[in-house]
Amino acid sequence: MAVIIDGKNLAKKIRSNLKVECDKLKEKGIIPKLAVIMVGDNPASKVYVKNKSIACNEVGIEYKEYLLDANIKQENLLDLIKKLNNDETVNGILLQSPIPEHLNINEAFKAITYLKDVDGFTPSSVGKLCIGEDTFVSCTPLGVIKMFEEYNIDLNGKDVVILGRSNIVGRPLIQCCLQKNATVTVCHSKTKSLEEHTKRADVIISAIGKPKFVTADMVKNNVVIIDVGINRDENGKLVGDVDFENVEKKASYITPVPGGVGPMTIAMLMNNVIKATKEQYKEKLML
């Protein structure tokens, strides 16, 4: 039987530590603030944004939402980002994805100033991550790394297989795991014989978005499983990418869905807002 990695509880502990840091900033007259931009009316995004606002409230971070019409022009979206870049009361800017297809999301991410890039999506953050400099790391990969650290799972020399190569999960995870001295393999939809890779993996991190894709016959005994996927099964139940019930019997550690990576992602957003605020007030805080 595997150890179940309790992301919910760990995230709660992190939020409570961040509240202490947030209170200290407030004692110095600094109130951390997150601005969230949402374009259009995506139901899933509404739930994610609501959870982020609840977490901000718990930690003591001020939260402001900007709801933009689905038909907004790119230039108007960029204008809002520029306004928030220049607003000294705003410490972090988050553009909730997805946004409507007529808009260029990469151009929008690029417009966010580095110091307020709490999602770690700007070219500066991504570039710094690639060369191993301290930076804003996107929240899901950062949450996964915190889980390894908290459960003393050492990646040094381990074969880590990442399923999925998206800009928000798979790609930053490559760098995060490399920094921990893992040997990293990345699989995607064009990978041949994916099972050959998963069967020899010491650690599998799955972020592909397919319910119960990773089955027990695809993994070796004592594998560590991190399930990033959030999917609905045929009965509408929330499930990950991993067939939890059967894979758990072979794994040494495994994350559940829900209650695994999801809460950690939001806790890491809070972490990044506090980090951004401290960075912006570095000189004042040194006094």
Cβ–Cβ contacts within 10 Å for residue 221, how many?
Answer: 8
- Site mask for ligand NDP (CB under 6 A), range 108-147, x = bound: --------------------------------x-------
CA atoms of 223 and 154, how far apart (whole Å): 13
Q: Identify each DSSP E strand in the chain by its residue range.
A: 3-4, 33-39, 62-68, 92-95, 159-163, 183-187, 203-206, 224-227, 231-232, 238-239, 253-254
52 is catalytic: yes
Task: Give the binding range for ligand NDP (CB under 6 A) out of 56-64, 100-108, 165-173, 271-279.
Answer: 165-173
Asked if residue 208 binds ligand NDP (CB under 6 A), the reply is: yes
Asked if residue 205 binds ligand NDP (CB under 6 A), the reply is: no
Judged by CB, which is closer to ligand NDP: 10, or 163? 163
Asked if residue 172 binds ligand NDP (CB under 6 A), the reply is: no
| Cβ at position 155, least distance to ligand NDP in Å | 19
Considering only 120, 141, 256, 262, the residue that binds ligand NDP (CB under 6 A) is 262
Asked if residue 269 binds ligand NDP (CB under 6 A), the reply is: no
Asked if residue 265 binds ligand NDP (CB under 6 A), the reply is: yes
Candidates 96, 116, 175, 243; catalytic one: 96
Task: Give the binding range for ligand NDP (CB under 6 A) out of 65-73, 122-130, 176-184, 206-214.
Answer: 206-214
249 is catalytic: no
List Cβ neighbours of 155 (8 Å cut-off, separation of 6 or more).
148, 177, 180, 181, 182, 203
Is the backbone of residue 74 left (phi > 0), alpha (psi -120 to 50) or beta?
A: alpha
Asked if residue 183 binds ligand NDP (CB under 6 A), the reply is: no
**CA–centroid distance for 22 within its chain:** 21
Q: Are 165 and 118 in contact (CB under 8 A)?
A: no
Encoding tokens for residue 250? Answer: 């072979």
CA atoms of 244 and 226, how far apart (whole Å): 11
Residues that bind ligand NDP (CB under 6 A): 140, 163-166, 168-170, 187-191, 194, 207-210, 228-231, 261-262, 265
